[in-house]
Each structure stands twice: as structure tokens, then as C-alpha cells.
Amino acid sequence: MIRIGVLASGGGTNLQAIIDACERGDIDGSVVIVISDKADAYSLVRARKRGIEAVSIPPEGTGREEHEKLVDATLQKARVDLVVLAGYMRILTPWFINRYLGRMMNIHPALLPSFGGKGMYGEHVHRAVIEYGCKLSGCTVHFVVPEVDGGPIIIQESVPVLEEDTPDSLASRIHPLEHKLYPKAIALFASGKLKIEGRRVRIID
Ligand code: GRF
């Protein structure tokens, strides 16, 4: 049974899918803490509704490193085995990332390594995919390394990009896919089935 800490800045639909999957027993683990950099994030409400500790750590008034130290101390106190980034809108420093190497995941709403990196988040991703003329997009769950969106890929799934797609319509087709894919990746981690070999993640049967 692993202890999961989730960092989320926004609405937290992925967080919800992960909590639900833990409660159903699809993941051999439980979300023990949710941390947000936004005091009014709905993800904190979702956590509290399920009796999960929810902490807001706003960055205002602290330096970047000081803020991360607070987040780190909170995760340590909760004794987390895995850190899950679920719409966390801050770029983490190598110091923080290196502390959780191989045990921190992120989900990106496109097929990496395309349409990732700095500035590629939310609507920007879907707009870039459509403008490029891609016929496929999707989502990617990956381990987090200091290079933004550059970590070893755990799982990906694709959806077609339709002629009439807008960034919104494409996002609304990808979002439900994320809700299936993220719990799946976490379940694999929780059951010890992920082995990182350089850039590749082997899924052990
Ligand atoms: C998702 O689209 C995810 O891919 C990205 O941030 C968004 C978070 O959405 N990293 P939600 O808050 O889980 O609904």
C-alpha cells in the first residue's frame, strides 16, 4: 500500500480520478495529502470531502526555494512514497525534482515529446497541436526529471484530432482519457511493475 502525495493548482479532476481509483481498490495505495499553491483551488475541496489532508502553500512572500522547502517538508511529514503532479502550475527546481527522482509523475495533455516544455500547458498545447495540423493527439504520463516534460514515458494514449476541433473540444476529448490513464500508471507503480531503464520505462508483467 503506497502513500501518495498530490500537488494540484486547479480543479483537480485528475486528482478526483486518482482518489476514486484508490477507493475502488484499483490502486494499491491511498492519497494521504494534497498540496496546492492556490488557497482557493477546488482540488483542496475535493480532498477534504474525502477526509484527505489538504494544505495550501501559497508562494507569495517566499522565495522559490523556500516555497519548495515547505512543500518538501509537508510531503516528508506525510511520509509519501510517490508524488503525483496533477495540474500543478509551477516549474519545479532541479533540487526538488532530484529529491523525488523515480517517484514523481506528471501527466501532459499531448503525445510527448511533441508539444511539451516551457509554456506548453492547458489551451496552449491543444491550440499548437491543431495549428500544426496533427491528426492525432493524446496524453502522456511520465516520470519527472529536471528537463520540463522530458522524463521517461510510462504510458500514452491517443485520440484523433478532428477537422472541426477547437482547443476546447480537443481538451474535452483528452481529459476523460487522462482520468483513465493516470490511475493506471499509478497502479502500475504501486504494484512495483515499473522499471526505469535509462530513457525507457519497462512495464513488468
Ligand atoms: C490536465 O489537463 C493535465 O494534463 C495538466 O493539467 C490539467 C489538470 O486538470 N497537467 P485537472 O485539474 O486535473 O482537471
Q: Name the residue of 20, 148, 175, 181 to mutate for ligand 1: max ligand atoms within 8 A of Cβ.
A: 175
- Rounded to whole angstroms, the Cα distance separating 168 from 157 reads 19
Amino acid 127: pLDDT: 98
Domain chopping of the chain, boundaries: 1-100, 107-205
What ligand 1 atom has the least distance to the C-alpha of 175? 2
Query: Cα of 149 to ligand 1 centre, how many Å?
Result: 14
Instruction: Calculate mean pLDDT across residues 96-119.
Output: 97
- Overall average pLDDT of the 47-56 stretch: 98
Q: For a substitution probing ligand 1, which of 178, 180, 181, 182 has the most ligand atoms within 8 Å of its CB?
A: 178
Q: Which helix (H) or strand (E) holds 66?
A: helix 64-77
**179 carries an active-site annotation:** no
Mean pLDDT of all residues in 128-143: 98
HSE-up (13 A, CA, CB side) for residue 132: 14
Q: Average pLDDT of the chain?
A: 97
CATH number of 107-205: 3.40.50.170
Give the pairing type, strands 200-203 and 53-56: unpaired
Q: Rounded CA gap, 174 and 53, in Å?
A: 29
Q: Percentage of the chain with pLDDT > 70? A: 100
pLDDT exceeds cutoff 90 at 205: no
CATH 3.40.50.170 applies to domain 1-100: yes
Single-letter amino acid code for the residue at 40: D
Q: At residue 181, what are phi and psi to the nearest 5 degrees? A: -70, -40
pLDDT at 43 over 90: yes
| Closest by Cα among 135, 186, 5 to 81 | 5
The residue with greater pLDDT, 195 or 63, is: 195
